[in-house]
Structure 1
Amino acid sequence: MEGAEERSCTSISAAGASGDHGHRCSRPDDGTVEVFALLGKRWTGLLIAALLKGPGFFSELHRAVPGISERMLADRLAELSALGLLVRIVDDGPPVRVSYRLTDAGRALGPAMAELSQWARSHLAGTRAPGPRRDA
């Protein structure tokens, strides 16, 4: 099976298209695998993007990411907290309120998120059906 995977990984150029001949793809490095294991989870990247603009309360994050359920939001926030990408801040009130903010490690994703966003505007514009309205 591994040989079949290697053969399917032959570059387009090796199959006859223009460019360098004989190049082969390779396994992504561990950092790439790890970051996409995180950001590839539904909602995670959107939550980080929302928090890059500043701290938010649970209800604000729920509104900022259309379609996420409260349970999924709570799960993703707990996961990001466990990874050290955000902190949970409890204001004793009254009323008691909980806000979330990115740590330095979470904010360090900002430039990469901006690059991905720019790439999407340049290369994916109009390729996706409209999603839920952001102001709804």
Structure 2
Amino acid sequence: MKLLHRIYQCSRLSFKFKTYNSRNFDVRSRVNPAVINRVPVHFYSTLSDQDVKRRTEELTDCFMEARELMQDAKESLNTVYFSEDMQEASEAVAQTIQTYEKFLNELNETQKKDVTRTIGLKMAELKAQYAAMEEELKAE
């Protein structure tokens, strides 16, 4: 993060003092400095490590709740409560996956790798279990 910030500062200073040359030609004449000075937003994250940890724990809790609701729906198969349980399970799974993807979009690359390593497999497992459950219901 500090390295990217340092590169950004140096690039701004080099354009300001007109010292940015490459391969013996003036880059300023070919490239708009206003476009070059922009650093993509995905390099920066406004979330601290504590916020990332807290939200990761919240997602883990959502994952556990969605799995429990799926288990309840499986247990209530062929009963009056099945359709309601299945609807709750599908809403919980969709909400958990949506929250996870939104959370990943808010992170920088390093944080994204850490979160994916921590709970990425759980989210993939949740999707797979839900898809298997739907396939099993279609078969019956």
TM-score scaled to structure 2, two decimals? 0.25
Structure having the higher helix fraction is 2
Structure showing greater relative contact order (alpha-carbon pairs closer than 8 Å, 6 or more residues apart) = 2
TM-score scaled to structure 1, two decimals? 0.25
Structure having the higher strand fraction is 1
Look at both structures and tell me which one has the larger radius of gyration over its CA atoms: 2
